[in-house]
Amino acid sequence: ISHAGLPTHRGSVRGKRWEAEKVLRPTAPFPVQVKKMGELGLLAMDVPEEYKGAGLDYLAYSIAVEEISRGCASTGVIVSVNNSLYLGPILKFGSEEQKHQWIAPFTSGEKIGCFALSEPGNGSDAGAATTVARLDGDEWVLNGTKAWITNAWDASAAVVFATTDKALKHKGISAFLVPMPTPGLSLGKKEDKLGIRASSTANLIFEDCRIPKANLLGQLGMGFKIAMQTLDAGRIGIASQALGIAQAALDCAVDYAEKRTAFGSPITKLQAIQFKLADMAVALEGARLLTWRAAMLKDNGKPFTKEAAMAKLAASEAATSIAHQAIQILGGMGYVTEMPAERHYRDARITEIYEGTSEIQRLVIAGQLLKAYRG
């Protein structure tokens, strides 16, 4: 794997950090900032220029999502979902006509997309989809409910997974491109969440929702494969979001500890504080290297399922731990909204849950290890 472009990649996103710290953190009006991010190429980073994308690679994308999430984790996941979960599967599995229709309008910030896989009764069991799609002439008719859909209230299209042949179980799931709004599709309530509160999350409810036959993404019965490969890439995005949250929490802890005095000197003179900061930094850097490795494997066309799972597992658990320790270092000030530490703690927690829980990541990693061992 070539690391030659890394300094350039890091330099190219310094401006993104400025945007996150100076613009997103103080204000964060959703529509305005999404439009601005589109103008900067942040909503379609690895999409080729022929489809109006930035034409960059996944390493650049990973670094950008981290820097954005350092300022605002909600904005980070909005960017991640549009890049990885919405545009990603269309770019990989879509026809040329679908790419021009469903990618190009979603690169500028005028529109964003979402990804509808989870259901009220199946989160980790993605192969047990109860949402169904049946062909009626030249139209697919969708019925069912999708749950926990990020960007739901702001999206103009969704990649939706539905069962087309129940007898085939997970091999009978197909993927569809659904415009939003469209007749037969309604939104559930906007969820009142612990963290990432500026990002909308809601159910998608399909009641005899009709879409053109041409809106099938990939081949019939390919939906589960599309979903799993899409989540591999998406986990790099969530790992990057977690890195940004973790870095922000560490920054907050260091800044406070340098200014806070106890026993006549800054508390950074205390070994207990130094040990906490050291452990936080090691966990962060280790997770960052795992994330970059997964991104570079993807960029080089190498298998990266295991590495993406490792990156997400390490980064998400590091983010939660670092945010926890940041609050401990701040003491009472870490528990109040006057300081950002409590927000980092709330934002970090979701990274261990969505796009595959930590338990699922461990299953994926173990499965890949055993597969390699058994030949």
- Which residues are bridge partners to 141 per DSSP? 134, 210
- What the block records as the tokens of 365 is 């990693």
Chain segment 251-269, per-residue pLDDT in tens: 999 999 999 999 999 999 9
- What the block records as the tokens of 366 is 């173990």
**What is the pLDDT averaged over residues 322-343?**
98
Distances (CA, A) of 194 to 237, 314, 349: 20, 21, 9
Chain segment 83-141, per-residue pLDDT in tens: 999 999 999 999 999 999 999 999 999 999 999 999 999 888 888 889 999 999 999 99
For the chain, give every domain's residue range: 15-104, 113-221, 224-374
Q: What percent of the chain has pLDDT over 70?
A: 92
Comparing CA positions, the residue from 89, 96, 135, 143 lying closest to residue 114 is 89
Query: Nearest 5°: phi and psi at 195?
Result: -135, -170
Contact 100, 188 (CB under 8 A): no
**What is the pLDDT averaged over residues 299-323?**
99
Q: Tell me, letter by letter, the H, E, C secondary structure of the chain.
A: CCCCCHHHHHHHCHHHHHHHHHHHCCCCCHHHHHHHHHHCCCCCCCCCHHHCCCCCCHHHHHHHHHHHHHHCHHHHHHHHHHHHHHHHHHHHHCCHHHHHHHCHHHCCCCCCEEEECCECCECCCCCCCCCEEEEECCEEEEEEEEEEEECCCCCCEEEEEEECCHHHHHHHEEEEEEECCCCCEEECCCCCCCCCCCCCEEEEEEEEEEEEHHHEECCCCCHHHHHHHHHHHHHHHHHHHHHHHHHHHHHHHHHHHHHCEECCEEHHHCHHHHHHHHHHHHHHHHHHHHHHHHHHHHHCCCCCHHHHHHHHHHHHHHHHHHHHHHHHHHHHHHHCCCCCHHHHHHHHHHHHCCCCCHHHHHHHHHHHHHHHHHC
CA pair distance 205, 60, nearest whole angstrom: 35
Chain segment 206-230, per-residue pLDDT in tens: 999 999 999 999 999 999 999 999 9
**What is the pLDDT averaged over residues 54-64?**
98
**What is the pLDDT averaged over residues 172-188?**
98
In this predicted model, which residue has the larger pLDDT, 14 or 153? 153
The per-residue pLDDT for 6 is 59
Q: State the number of CA atoms in the 13 A half-sphere of 165 facing the CB.
A: 11
Dihedral of CA atoms 215, 44, 245, 369 in degrees, nearest 10, equals 70
Choose the CATH number for 224-374 among 3.20.20.80, 3.40.50.920, 3.40.50.10490, 1.20.140.10: 1.20.140.10
The per-residue pLDDT for 126 is 82
**What is the pLDDT averaged over residues 64-79?**
96
Q: Which has the minimum average pLDDT: 31-45, 130-144, 151-165, 323-337? A: 31-45
Residue 278 pLDDT > 90, yes or no?
yes
Contact 67, 16 (CB under 8 A): yes
**What is the pLDDT averaged over residues 28-54?**
87
Choose the CATH number for 15-104 among 1.10.540.10, 1.10.357.10, 3.40.50.300, 3.40.50.2300: 1.10.540.10
Most distant pair of Cα atoms in the chain: their distance: 80
The per-residue pLDDT for 33 is 82
The per-residue pLDDT for 312 is 99
Please report which confidence band the pLDDT of residue 364 belongs to, taking 50, 70 and 90 as the band edges.
Answer: very high
Q: What residues are annotated to the active site?
A: 355
CATH of domain 113-221: 2.40.110.10
Amino acid at position 349, single letter? R
Comparing CA positions, the residue from 257, 254, 246 lying closest to residue 283 is 246
CA pair distance 105, 85, nearest whole angstrom: 16
The per-residue pLDDT for 180 is 98
